[in-house]
């Protein structure tokens, strides 16, 4: 089993739709979680950190489910500009600060 | 504030040669991470430097090495290049071992 897993997609959704992605992790001692956005042939850009209590930034909501060992990203009112690959990242525990990235979920928002 | 910078943007080498990639972190960031992103694959953690020291490395052979300079810039060296080393090499810096900010990457092609 991979340490961090994501559905590669693509998720094809119409503009205005709500879409959610999950990311599962295998190490229950993982401490920090992040979502990044990566456009084609560009570098990943930090979208948001994922806190235990969940967090929201505009149309984006991230949540952590420690019991089931996954994080989620919800995008409401999808825009064409949201089309990208969304990567989750998990910070390994024990002070190693080794980040494990998922392979990404591709989102295509259609007009 | 200037972001993470990397040079060169593109690098073409032949098998067996050595490649040197450079990264300058965001001002004030002392940690630098290196990742390899091969076509169709996720980000693979290569190396982590902090305060001039190598703190952790991923599952890559010793021909992947690097260093961090007193000004916190970093260099990644890949010796004895192989065709499968062709990839986008991304550098990221972090202020706190958590959130990472990526540079635009160096695209290495080995022929």
pLDDT in tens, A23-63: 999 988 888 899 999 999 899 999 999 988 889 999 999 99
- What does the pLDDT read at residue A96? 64
Average pLDDT of the residues in A71-78: 97
- Kindly state the percentage of chain B with pLDDT values over 90: 85
pLDDT surpasses 70 at A97: no
| B42 touching A (Cβ < 8 Å) | yes
- Kindly state the percentage of chain A with pLDDT values over 90: 78
| A107 touching B (Cβ < 8 Å) | no
Least confident of A4-13, B61-70, B76-85, B90-99: B90-99
pLDDT surpasses 90 at A87: yes
Pick from B80, B55, B50: nearest CA to B68: B50
- What does the pLDDT read at residue A1? 73
Looking at the DSSP bridge assignments, the partners of residue B64 are B78
**Cβ neighbours of residue A85 closer than 8 Å, sequence gap 6 or more:** A37, A38, A39, A40, A104, A105, A106, A107
Average pLDDT of the residues in B55-73: 94
Chain B residues within an 8 Å CB radius of A45 = 102
Looking at the DSSP bridge assignments, the partners of residue B50 are B31, B53
A3/B59 Cα distance (integer angstroms): 14
Q: Decide if B41 and A103 are in contact by the 8 Å CB cutoff.
A: yes
**Cβ neighbours of residue A46 closer than 8 Å, sequence gap 6 or more:** A34, A36, B99, B100, B101
Mutate to test the interface with A, among B54, B100, B103 (most CBs of A within 10 A): B100
Q: Decide if A43 and B90 are in contact by the 8 Å CB cutoff.
A: yes
pLDDT surpasses 60 at B77: yes
- What does the pLDDT read at residue A35? 96
């Amino acid at each position: 089993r991979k340490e961090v897993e994501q559905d590669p997609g693509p998720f094809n959704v119409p503009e205005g739709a709500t879409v959610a992605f999950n990311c599962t992790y295998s190490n229950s001692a993982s401490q920090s979680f992040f979502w990044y956005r990566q456009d084609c042939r560009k570098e990943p850009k930090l979208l948001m950190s994922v806190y235990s209590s969940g967090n929201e930034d505009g149309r984006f909501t991230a949540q952590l489910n420690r019991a089931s060992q996954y994080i989620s990203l919800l995008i409401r009112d999808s825009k064409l500009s949201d089309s990208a690959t969304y990567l989750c990242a998990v910070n390994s525990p024990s002070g190693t600060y080794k980040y494990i990235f998922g392979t990404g979920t591709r989102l295509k928002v259609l007009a | 504030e200037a972001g993470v910078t990397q040079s060169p943007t593109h690098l073409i080498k032949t098998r067996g040669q050595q490649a040197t990639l450079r990264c300058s972190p965001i001002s004030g960031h002392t940690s630098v991470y290196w990742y390899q992103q091969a076509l169709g694959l996720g980000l693979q953690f290569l190396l982590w430097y902090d305060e001039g020291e190598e703190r952790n490395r991923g599952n890559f052979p010793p021909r992947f090495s690097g260093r961090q300079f007193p000004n916190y810039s970093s260099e990644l060296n890949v010796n004895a290049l192989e065709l499968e080393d062709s990839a986008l090499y991304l550098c990221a810096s972090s202020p706190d071992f958590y959130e990472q900010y990526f540079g635009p990457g160096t695209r290495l092609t080995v022929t």
